[in-house]
Amino acid sequence: MLQSYEAIYEHGAIEWLGDKPPIKQAHVIVTILPEKEGRSVTSQTQHQPSPLIAGKGSIQGDIISPIIPAKDWNCLK
């Protein structure tokens, strides 16, 4: 079965954007996608949260049960 992996090719090197294929060598076919307007190819890398917010979040209660009782849900009426 064929599988697809997203990567950026730049100056002869491949930078994987998601999962890296679990292989050492393979025959590949490369499809060149056109650049989107106002967006360069290198700006498509995965985004990470800012380190400035690390450790500042907290859970303020039960994260499993809904905060509003089911009897008050409009969608169930």
**What global pTM score does this model have?**
0.40
Q: Can you give the pLDDT at residue 43?
A: 53
What residue spans define the domains of the chain?
1-35
If the chain, 77 residues long, is cut into consecutive pieces of 10 residues, what is the mean pLDDT of each piece?
Answer: 84 87 87 72 65 85 81 76
Q: Can you give the pLDDT at residue 40?
A: 60
The DSSP letter of residue 27 is: -
CA distances from 2 to 16, 21, 30, 36, 64 (A): 17, 12, 13, 26, 38
SS3 at position 31: coil
Beta bridge partners of 13: 10
Q: Can you give the pLDDT at residue 4?
A: 86
Contact 23, 5 (CB under 8 A): no
For residue 16, report the phi and psi dihedrals to the nearest 5 degrees. Answer: -70, 135
